[in-house]
Amino acid sequence: MTKNTDTPHELLEKLFHEPNRLAILSALCAADKGMTFNELRDGCNLTDGNLNRHLAVLRDADVVRIDKTFVDDKPRTTVSITRKGLDRFQEYLAALQTVLQAAQKAIPVEKKAMVPSGVLRAVTR
Amino acid sequence: MIANHIHDALSQVRKLQEVILERRSFRGYSGTARAMGGLVALAGACVLSSSRMPSSEWAHLAGWSVVLVIALLANYGALAYWFLFDPEARREFLRLMPAVDAIPPLAVAAVMSLALVMHGRFDLLFGTWMCLYGLVHVPYRLSLPRANYGVGLFYMVCGAICLLTPFGRFTNPWPMGVVFFIGEASGGLLLQRHRNRSGE
């Protein structure tokens, strides 16, 4: 499938371009050993139902793996990002970077001048 | 304001990309084992260049085979130890994927070596080994320190020189010994530094 690179926003995968799922994946990609359901829920400020819904979507897309185990006779759900998920998320981030850079170029020069010069240097570096 | 928001978003994206790159880094190889392989290659060159060694190509081939076996045992032994006992590896086969990615160029090297030996083209062996071993570094460009890719280029350049000039004469063990000593010792140092930075 070829994607139109003239419009970079079309490269953004809708699966990840949802604020809560973006938060979930950002947390998971930093957690090498995965995160428990409760850690993820609290870290992303989500309700149980919301998190469950998003995780189901991500699991069906083979982006996350959900393991249910018993620790001290209590059930524990651990969520981790899959290798394929990490690949796709990395591609999404690259596309997001392209979109942001395009947006940055589209800002008129007089508006850029209002930004401290150090910030602009960091962006255009 | 918008420019500030975009700047913040871009820096967050870059941070996430760095996190992913760090997570993808492969720490299964041992810097010590790799450097030891380089030392063994240099020791092999010393032994093979001694006057007591028969100067036949088959004797040299046997000598380099011994060097190869020792280096393989050291490096893959360390990898197996990491896979079995390191908590990071967790005995998950997927964690070994970067090492598995190196198998095709190694397999091609084995087949080409066999073909060259069968046709008596011993003088092409050093260059072929160096070039293909250099190629092994390519799949690791994202999972090992970037400088390791430079080590791969070093092997490929040396291999090309051996293939295209008389330096690759098989009964002169020094080009092989010195190139692999420099390559493996510097590669080993890189791996060790990478591990230390990762807090191991």
What are the DSSP calls for A2-13, one per residue? Answer: ---TTSGGGGS-
* Minimum distance, in Å, between the CA of residue A29 and any CA atom of chain B: 6
In a domain, A74, yes or no: yes
Instruction: Kindly state whether B2 is in contact with chain A, defined as any CB-CB distance less than 8 angstroms.
Output: yes
SS3 for A79? strand
Give bridge partners of residue A36 from the DSSP assignment. A78
Please tell me the predicted confidence (pLDDT) of residue A122.
Answer: 42
Name every residue whose Cβ is closer than 8 Å to that of residue A65 and which is 6 or more positions away in sequence.
Answer: A34, A59, A79, A80, A81, A82
In a domain, A51, yes or no: yes
In a domain, A14, yes or no: yes
In a domain, A46, yes or no: yes
Please tell me the predicted confidence (pLDDT) of residue B186.
Answer: 95
First to last CA, chain A: 33
Residues A65-108: tens digit of each pLDDT: 999 988 888 899 999 998 889 889 999 999 999 988 888 888 77
| Helix, strand, coil content of chain A in percent (nearest 5) | 60, 15, 30
Contact (CB<8Å) B3/A101:
no
- Chain B, residues 134-153, CB within 8 A of chain A, namely none
Kind and range of the H or E run holding A78: strand A74-81
Kind and range of the H or E run holding B106: helix B103-118
Euclidean distance between CA atoms B62 and B42, whole angstroms? 15
Contact (CB<8Å) B19/A29:
yes
* Minimum distance, in Å, between the CA of residue A26 and any CA atom of chain B: 7
Instruction: Kindly state whether B103 is in contact with chain A, defined as any CB-CB distance less than 8 angstroms.
Output: no
Please tell me the predicted confidence (pLDDT) of residue A5.
Answer: 53
Q: Compute chain A's Rg from CA coordinates.
A: 18
SS3 for A66? strand
Contact (CB<8Å) A83/B4:
no
Nearest CA in chain B to A106: B3
Please tell me the predicted confidence (pLDDT) of residue B140.
Answer: 81
Whose structure tokens read 């809560």? A20
In a domain, A1, yes or no: no
How many structural domains compose chain A? 1
Please tell me the predicted confidence (pLDDT) of residue B23.
Answer: 79
Nearest to B7 among A94, A114, A123 (CB): A123
Q: What is the residue-averaged pLDDT of chain A?
A: 81
Instruction: Kindly state whether A109 is in contact with chain B, defined as any CB-CB distance less than 8 angstroms.
Output: no
Please tell me the predicted confidence (pLDDT) of residue A120.
Answer: 39
Give bridge partners of residue A35 from the DSSP assignment. A79
Complex ipTM value: 0.72
Give the model's confidence band at A57: pLDDT under 50 very low, under 70 low, under 90 confident, else very high. Answer: very high
Q: What is the pLDDT along chain B (200 residues), one digit of tens a residue?
A: 678 888 888 899 999 988 888 777 888 889 999 999 999 999 999 999 998 888 899 999 999 999 999 999 999 999 999 888 887 666 777 778 778 888 888 999 999 999 999 999 999 999 999 999 999 998 887 778 889 999 999 999 999 999 998 877 899 999 999 999 999 999 999 998 887 776 55
In a domain, A3, yes or no: no
Contact (CB<8Å) B20/A93:
yes
In a domain, A2, yes or no: no
What is the dihedral sign for C-alpha A115, A120, B1, B2? positive
Residue of A88, A92, A105, A115 to mutate, testing the B interface (most B Cβ within 10 Å of its Cβ): A115
Please report, for the domain that includes residue A67, its CATH number.
Answer: 1.10.10.10
| Cβ-Cβ contacts under 8 Å, A93 against chain B | 13, 16-17, 20
Core vs surface per residue A24-36: b (16+ CB within 10 A) or e:
bbbbbbebeebbe
Q: Which domain holds residue A94?
A: 8-124
Instruction: Kindly state whether B93 is in contact with chain A, defined as any CB-CB distance less than 8 angstroms.
Output: no
B180 alpha carbon, distance to own chain's centre: 9
Give the model's confidence band at A119: pLDDT under 50 very low, under 70 low, under 90 confident, else very high. Answer: very low
